[in-house]
Each structure stands twice: as structure tokens, then as C-alpha cells.
Structure 1
Amino acid sequence: MHTYNTSRRRIRPAAGIGLTAAALIAVAGCSPDESPGGTTADATSTSGSATTSAPASTAHNEADVEFTSTMIGHHRQAVMMAELVEGRTDNAELIALASTIEKAQDAEIEQMEDRLESWGEPGDDHGDMGHGDMGSRDMGHDGHSAMPGMLTPDQMAALRDARGGEFDRLWLEGMIRHHEGAIAMADAVLADGVNPATKALAQEVKRTQQAEIDQMKGMLGQS
């Protein structure tokens, strides 16, 4: 009897394990529609929704491409203007403002170049242009619309030749016009673009450059 009972006690746990394993196999073998509470089906549905909504953040149209490609060239001239400040003025406020503009717009250029690449679009074609040539071109890549506020070659030459108070006046007046042009470009993409990141950048351009316009007008003694 002892031997029999002992063997029974040893067998029961094994039988329980077998039943548990069988139950797990049965659950694993369920189709998605038969899973408890529809968990698998729900997960599949959620995943499908995420996949469907993902392209919305990268969707873009021609207005987004035009703004991004032309604003790269527009920003590059502002950076060139900022680089002319060194050695031509002792105006501490203007020097600090030029440094701020150069750093901000360099960062935005990189951001826009990365965005064009992610879209599979060609980059802006001003990259190899010298300081004199940049002023002579007011068109974006592939003949896009003119970029408002760009300085002409003569205006850039006059800026390079000026010093002291004359330089300050020409630089501030030129940068005000340049910023006003950027704001007009930002307004256009906010009206016609669809890409969220591009429109967010346009809003940032409007906010920062309008504040800088107000500052520069104050420096010129304008209301």
C-alpha cells in the first residue's frame, strides 16, 4: 500500500503539469479573433491605426518644399551679413545681435537641409556661392519664386566697404528688410503648407525675426 500511495502522490503533480501545459498550448493556438477579450485583435487594430497615422507627420506639399529650399538661401545671406560685422563696428549691441542671428540661422539651415533630404528633395543650390554672388541670386532651386528682402550685389558691396556708424546704419536697414522678407515667406507657407514641422519653423521665424526687427528699429531710433 505504501508503494502504491507513494507512486500516486508522485504521479498527481505530473498530471497537473500536463494539464497546465495543454491549456497553454490551447490558448497559444487560438486565432486572433478567439483570444481572450480580443486582446490580440485589439493590439493589431491599434498597430494598424499607428501605422496609418504615421505619414501625417511627414506629409508635405510643394509649398513646404519651396519654403524650405528657398529659406536656406535666404538664411545664408543673413549669415554672411552677420559675418561682415567683425572688424567693421564697435557697436556692442549690434555685434551681439549679429552673433545671435548667425547661430540661430545656421542651426535652422541644418534643420531645413535635413528635412529636404528626408523628403528626397534636392538641396538649395547656393552652397558654393561667394559673398558677392549671393546677392545676385534671388531665386530658389529649380526656379522657385523670388526671395523677398535679399540684398543686391551693390548693397552687399557697400556693406563690405562701410565702417563705423555708416556700417551700422546700412547693416541694420538691410537686416530689417531681410527679416521682413523672411516673415513674408513664413506667412506664405503657413497659409499653403501642410507639414507640421515646417509650419512650426515658420512660426518660430516670425516670432524671433519680428522681435529682432523691433530691436533693430530701436537701434536706428525708429518707432
Structure 2
Amino acid sequence: MSRRPVLVPGLLLGVLALGACSSEPATVTLGGTAAAAESAETVERPWGTVKVFPEMEKAEEPGVDDVVFARDMVMHHEQAIELGTNLLGHDALDERVAATARFIVADQQNEIGVMNSWLDAWEASAQEHDDHGTEPMPGMLPQDRVDAIASLPSAASQVAFLVAMIEHHQGAITMSQDYLPVQANSFTRSSAQHIITEQLTEIQYMENVIDDLCAGGGPATCPTGAPGS
């Protein structure tokens, strides 16, 4: 597996947040203690404590790049959900891999709901940009590769899932980095920064799990260069 470095913008915005660990958004309200606010704006993941997906208080007028970014990221997330769902159809999975897939499915479903809500709020602007062509998205995988996650044996499937999800995340990071220089809307800007930060952390976690699963030999889906491969 090729693990190319990904550049990270240094600036993260402070934002209102919503709970990303379930399909039902949990809106954060202002007020209360600092400890309560901090607890509401973070959530535990298999890889540690992270900030949750942003939700802004007001609908700012979007530019074409904001609308396209949100629309494309919804489509990108849908494939990640399909990858995770295909893996979770298997039995006898390593719990770290199963937990990762469960989180990705729930988290990205939630993010899709938030982004679609903003696209609905931007309906007039979105309609103005309906003729904007969709470019090929980085990290989007061929459908046969997505389908293979469901049909491979469990041990091979979980490694294939991790390898595919790393590639998929790298694509989402690239999309977000490409968008930031042209952004105009604070919600989509915060969303892109969140995606970069969280998915880099997820990639590192998944690479460590691959190294562990492939140490001393492993399924044929282990990437070249993994321990024991």
C-alpha cells in the first residue's frame, strides 16, 4: 500500500458541535460550565478523544465552491458507509476493525445529514450551481473493489477494508485541502478542517492495526511493506 504524506493546514476553528456518534444530531447549546461544554464538543473514538462535526448558528450565503464541496463530500461519505456496511456483514472480525467500521458508518451518516440540511438551506444558491460539472473525486474506489469487501473471507476482508478506507480517507483529505483556498462559507470551511484533522488520525490508527494484523504473515490482502508481508 502506498502511504503518501498528507499536508495539514495549521489552523482549526472553534465551532459549535453536534454529536457524531449516532444518526440523530445532538445540538450543542451555549451556556453551562466549561467542562460540560468541552464534554459536549468531544467524543470517544477507537483512536482516542476527538472533536465532533461542526454545526454553525447561521446560514451564510455560499459560493459555488461551498455548494460543490458539500455535494461531493456527501457522495464521498456514501461510499465510505458502503465499505463499512459490507465489512460488518462478516463474523469473527477483530474488534478494533469492527469498531472502526461501526464508527465510520454512524459518523458519516450523521455528517451527510448535516451537510444535506445545509444544502437544503442553500436551495436557491444550490440551484444556481446545478450545471456545475462534477469532477472525479480523489479516493473514490471502483465498485468492484467496494463489493469485494462483502465477498472476501473475514480475515482478508478486514485488511482489505482498512487498506481501502485509508485510500478513501486520503482522498477526502485532498478534497478538503483543495477546497480551503477557495472557500467562502464558515460551515463548509469548518467541515473541511474537521475532515482533515480527524481522518489523518483515523489513518494513523488504521495503519497501526494493519501492521498488527499482518505481522508474521497474514491474508493476501496485506499491503506490500506491512510487517510479515
In the alignment, which residue of structure 1 is the partner of 2:154? 164
1:144-163 matches, cutoff 5 A: 144-163=134-153
Q: How does 1:27-176 map to 2 (within 5 A)?
A: 58-88=60-90, 89-120=92-123, 121=126, 143-176=133-166
2:199 pairs with 1:209: yes
Task: Report the TM-score when normalising by structure 1.
Answer: 0.63
| Root-mean-square deviation over aligned CA pairs | 2.1
Q: Indicate conservation of the 8 Å contact 1:60/1:195, yes or no.
A: yes
Structure number with higher helix proportion: 1
Distance 1:212 1:57, change over 3 A: same
Structure 1 counterpart of 2:117, one-letter code = D
Q: Which runs of 5+ in 2 are unaligned?
A: 1-57, 212-225
Gap runs ≥5 in structure 1: 1-55, 123-139
- SS of residue matched to 2:88: coil
**Alignment-mate amino acid for residue 85 of structure 1:** L
What is the count of residue pairs matched by the alignment?
A: 151
Contact 1:57 1:196 survives alignment (8 Å): no
Aligned-pair identity in percent equals 29
Answer whether contact 1:63 1:193 (CA < 8 A) is retained.
yes
- Using a 3 Å threshold, how does the CA distance of structure 1 residues 98 and 141 change in structure 2: closer, same or farther? farther
In structure 2, C-alpha distance between the alignment counterparts of 1:77 and 1:215, rounded to whole Å: 20
The higher radius of gyration belongs to 1
Partner of 1:181: 171
Contact 2:70-2:115 at 8 Å conserved across structures: yes
Residue 155 of structure 1: CA displacement?
0.6
Q: CA deviation at 1:141?
A: 8.4
Q: Give per-residue Cα distances to partners, 1:72-105, cap 9 Å, x unaligned.
A: 0100110111111223252100010111111111
> Matched residue of 1:90: which SS?
coil
